[in-house]
Amino acid sequence: MTKHYPQKLAAILTFTLLSCGAPLLLSANALALENRKPEVATTEIAPLIAKLKSTNEKELDAAIKKLGKIGEPAIPALIQALGDKNLLVSRSAGEVLQKIGTPAIPALLQALKDSDVQIRRRAAGVLRGVIYFSLELGKLPEATGFAPALISLLKDSDAQVRSNAADALGNIGAEAKAAVPALIPLLKDSDADVRINAASALGKIGAEAKTAVPALILLLKDSNAEVRNNAANALGSIGAEAKTAVPALIPLLKDSDAEVRSNAANALRNIGAEAKAAVPKLIPLLKDSNADVRSSVAHALGSMGAEAKAAVPALIPLLKDSDANVRSSVAHALGSMGAEAKAAVPALIPLLKDSNGLVRSIAGYSLGDIGAEAKAVVPVLISLLKDSDANVRNNASFVLKTIALNIQDQAKTLSPAELDKVIRELEPALKILEDPKAKFSKEDIATVRLSIEALKAKRNAHLFNLIRQNKWVAAAIIYLIFFPSLWSAILRLRPLWILQINDALKSYDFKLPETWGGAPIRIRDLTFIRFFIYHPRVLDAWVSTHIETVREQFTTQETVEIRATYIPVSFELDDKKVTEIRCQELQSTFTKNRIRLLIWGEGGIGKTSIACQIADWAMEPDQNKRLTKHLMIPILMEEELKNVNEDKDSFLTAINGQLKSIADLPKPADEDLLKQLLQQRRLLVIVDHFSEMSEATQKAILPNSPDFPVNALVVTSRLDSSLGRGNKTTLHPLRIEGSELSDFMQKYLEKLGKIHLFGGSRFHYACGDLAKLLEGIENQGRSTTVLFAKLYADVLIANKTADNTSDDDSPKNIPDLMLSYLTEINRDVAEDKLSDNEVHEIAKMLAWECLKVTYRPTSIKIKDALTALSALNLQDAEARLKYLEEKLRILQRKGSSKDNISFVLDPVAEYLAGLHLVDIYGNDDSKWCDFIINGDFQTSLEAIKGFMLAVRDCYLAKVLDAKVTDYLPSEIATRYNISITVPAQTPQLVSP
């Protein structure tokens, strides 16, 4: 970039002299010849010369233009005007002379001998400009006529004259070689401008100025940065003849001036391999803050070829330089080093897609220059054959051809596997090249085709020679091919046979004798079947075999059965509102390798219902309506894990137990098979009520652990913090508000086939009553949950079915709703029916037993439940327990031995427990104080929020003259930021 600096300097000085008239100089000769009028009166010239003094810009421009048209007749007067003391006149005269061009050269040469130093200065400057622009137009006459005159000026007493003369000689170039002896002394001139232009002139003369090398070397230590810069540039222009300057150029690589450093590097570049001693000093400059310096250094290293291979590690990072010139220079340098730069291939590959076309092209050529070592770039080059830029496409074609030829030359050194890989990569490239529409070079196409054929021939020769020379190799090849081919065929036709054969071969495992090392030998390994056992086709076949049984067993689970009537509600899916959750919304989540889906929200909001719906979608026979392309078996985990402290795989053991039960397996699944089913997402594990589980169980289920076995996990929780901060998808059911409440009720009643019971305005009155009933919940910042709406609808249906139309029987608050729900389901019992009051008492007692330890709904031992019921002095406590379990179905047994029992619906348990506490504590603040303190000691206040608010509701509804400012409701309100400014009151129903 900086090697043209002296030429640019001359142009800048000329433009300064010409002011704003430079563009017209490009047509100077033609203008002068065309408009020259010999008959013009000399009296017209003098007034125009006088006007050159004008400060009026318009008048001055007009005078310059007219004098330019007059041409040669005006030259004598203009030469005289060069010496005018008025700077404006002399400068304008010079401008006109340059417009006139080459016809003014003889007069200017004569002026160079003038005794007036001012005229000599101006004449030399104008002559420099005329020479420069005449060279640009290709109209410069033989330099031999005026070079001697300029050479003589090199000894002029005036520094500016010497400087201008040297600059003019430089513009002549190599034809001014006769000036070299006279220019050399000027390198020691006391005037810096003279030294600058003398060095510049020698550089432009080039190799013909080689005798100036010693003097230029001395100039490298000049105090003036521009002098050092031009000296370095001149040595570079002289080229290899200046190799003795290398030791002197090296210190300039540390010069404080960036342009000096850059030109020093350029000089070393032009000297070439002879400058290899500078490599260690050039390498640190690759980190220079100046982009031009980095670019010049890269070019310099590249000019030295393989001699600069030590620079490869330092060059590679610069392929990512922000400056495109640096990237292209570095790529070119690496290509110049050939195979020695093979380490740069991975870094060069991305440059084939660089935003800069020049960088892409140079990177391609460099990879071609690196040769066969760059074969890894073939796939990227294939994509570049389709680039929108024709230059890039042709460049990629050239590189492919070059690489193919280089690989062909080195084919003897490549293994059969390497040959296979290269052939596979080159064949798609040939197909693109052969496309007639692409219009690639026929030579490139033919070369790549012949190279591929040659490589194939070499590959075949490898194989035949190997078999012929080593017969045991043939047997080994047959062995290596036979078993994998056999298993592949079985995998396609009868995938489950793979598992059966694997199980059969287990019995043939044995150990070598201890004298031979005692190593275990597995026939399954020797036959390669282990690589096929857990192929996705095998796992899919296993799932398909059991899926019908799983569907039947899953729908009969009590948790699932009670939620069979599913009504979609609005959700937030990762903070994005979804009006109705559908399979399609979750399909993107279930394409991930690790599925972590958290369904969170308060109790009764429908978390378990949507989890059951997701399980249905996982088992859906129609692939278009399924969560994934493959079937999944849902595993519903509702119970606390056993032996968590003793068994580190307690979670895996529990999953296996559930799988055995739901798939009706004769024995638990093989541990390896189970892990593969989990890892390859053929089992969908649903952990229900995670936040209500014990701390020990929660610690055993750590989805973010690296060795966590489950890759498809759905968790329901009351807390959005469950599953930690790892990558997870969250699903949050939204509260039912406004018109959504009536829409939900209508859909629910329609699905049950009971909408006809609420004809006319009855349905709207019912929805209004429910809205009033739920006002208290909304005032507490809680959601209008799906469960409350369903329970209310069930109570209304029961009342209508029993022909009970009295409004007094309609529940007026949530605690009443829970009791009404128990009353209505007890009404349907036909034999050995218990009274409603007894059912209420038993249910409330058991509910408190399930919550009193953790304040969260959990399961309890049946023997503990019977012990608690004995306090009610019941005749047959066990029969009463079965009554709630089998006839009312509000309880369910849990555990592999079915020795635990819990409530089916958590919010029902929370409200019944709250009613029990109100019955025994009443308005005794001391007892309520103990209750509050125990709550504060629980692991998480948020996790027990549902129960605490349920107790508050029960207190306000059932304690006589209860107020929100009482101890219990106010303490709970404080903990959960509930406003207590509005006094509690029984909502007035809207039914007529």
Q: Where in the chain is the domain with CATH 3.40.50.300?
A: 536-733
> Pairing relation of β-strands 712-717 and 683-687?
parallel
pLDDT of residue 35: 42
* 875 confidence band (pLDDT: 50, 70, 90): confident
* 40 confidence band (pLDDT: 50, 70, 90): very low
Angle, vertex CA 696, rays to CA 691 and CA 702, nearest 5: 70
pLDDT of residue 39: 46
Q: How far is CA 177 from CA 108, 142, 201, 204, in A?
A: 21, 14, 10, 10
Q: Return all residues near 233 (Cβ < 8 A) that are at least 6 apart.
A: 2, 3, 5, 6, 199, 200, 203, 263, 266, 267
- Rounded Cα distance between 482 and 479, Å, is 5
- Rounded Cα distance between 486 and 480, Å, is 11
pLDDT of residue 674: 92
Q: Residue 885 in contact with residue 969, Cβ under 8 Å? A: no
Residue 22: pLDDT over 50: no
Greatest mean pLDDT among 117-121, 138-142, 237-241, 658-662 = 658-662
Least confident window among 63-67, 142-146, 381-385, 715-719: 142-146
* Closest to 104 (Cα-Cα) out of 156, 144, 67: 67
- Rounded Cα distance between 801 and 809, Å, is 14
> For 567-608, what is the HEC assignment?
CCCCEEECCEEECCCCHHHHHCHHHCCCEEEEEECCCCCCHH
Residue 549: pLDDT over 80: yes
Q: Return all residues near 315 (Cβ < 8 A) that are at least 6 apart.
A: 286, 298, 301, 330, 333, 334, 341, 344
Share of the chain above pLDDT 90, in %: 15
Residue 373: pLDDT over 70: no
Residue 744: pLDDT over 80: no
pLDDT of residue 681: 92
* 912 confidence band (pLDDT: 50, 70, 90): very high
Q: Residue 233 in contact with residue 3, Cβ under 8 Å? A: yes
pLDDT of residue 10: 38
Q: Where in the chain is the domain with CATH 1.25.10.10?
A: 175-301, 304-465
Greatest mean pLDDT among 239-253, 612-626, 799-813, 873-887 = 612-626
> Higher-confidence residue: 192 or 515?
192
> 175-301: what fold?
Leucine-rich Repeat Variant (1.25.10)
Task: Assign domain 304-465 to its CATH superfamily.
Answer: Leucine-rich Repeat Variant (1.25.10.10)
DSSP state of 337: T
Domain at 536-733: CATH architecture:
3-Layer(aba) Sandwich (3.40)
DSSP state of 143: G
pTM over 0.85: no
- Rounded Cα distance between 101 and 21, Å, is 13
Kindly state the average pLDDT of the residues 633-640: 89
Q: Return all residues near 794 (Cβ < 8 A) that are at least 6 apart.
A: 821, 824
Residue 443: pLDDT over 50: yes
Length of the chain: 992
Q: Residue 748 in contact with residue 789, Cβ under 8 Å? A: yes
Residue 682: pLDDT over 80: yes
Angle, vertex CA 459, rays to CA 456 and CA 461, nearest 5: 110
Residue 830, token pair as written in the block: 């036909």
Task: Provide the CA 584 distance to its chain's centre, in angstroms.
Answer: 25
* 63 confidence band (pLDDT: 50, 70, 90): low
- Rounded Cα distance between 193 and 639, Å, is 94
